[in-house]
Amino acid sequence: MEENTEVTETIGSDTGKDPVTGRFVAGNSLGGRTAGSLDFKTKWNIFIEKVAAQNDMTPNEIDEQLLAVAFKRAKDGDYAFYRDTQDRVYGKPMQPTELSGRNGGAIQVEGVEITVRKNES
């Protein structure tokens, strides 16, 4: 017969979590962006400003030229380049999630039982 082995989650200083609540504590070093690092949009704007200064143009003119290149590549079949730059600079468009039942109707909930008990303490 096989022995029953139990795997438990370690909660404590090695996980960056509070041992009582299990929530991440301030200053944990478990991932995320390091303090002071720049996101893509900020890096993009810095790049645009540098290229504009080097070419005696405005940042808006450089941005328009890059948008034109992205549009041309999308038109030629590389839509991913256009979509990725737009998503990273301006954010992804809202993607609503609609839940519905059969034929678009209401969702039917069956077999739900709610019990309320008064605590006698």
User: What pTM did the predictor assign?
Assistant: 0.50
Domain span at residue 87?
37-93
| 120 lies in some domain | no
Residue-wise pLDDT for 46-90, tens only, equals: 999 999 999 999 999 999 999 899 999 999 999 998 898 888 888
Query: Cα(43)–Cα(109) distance, rounded to whole angstroms?
Result: 49
The two three-digit tokens of residue 116, written as one number: 């309320």
Is 79 inside a domain boundary? yes
Residue 116, C-beta contacts closer than 8 angstroms, at least 6 positions apart: none
Domain count, the chain: 1
**Buried/exposed code over 31-70 (b: 16+ C-beta within 10 A; e: otherwise):** eeeeeeeeeeeeebeeebeebbeeeeeebeebbeebeeeb
Residue with tokens 């080097």: 54
pLDDT (mean) for 94-121: 80
Average model confidence (pLDDT) for the chain? 80
Q: How confident is the model at residue 32 (pLDDT cuts 50, 70, 90)?
A: low
Q: Residue 31: inside a domain, yes or no?
A: no
- Is 119 domain-assigned? no
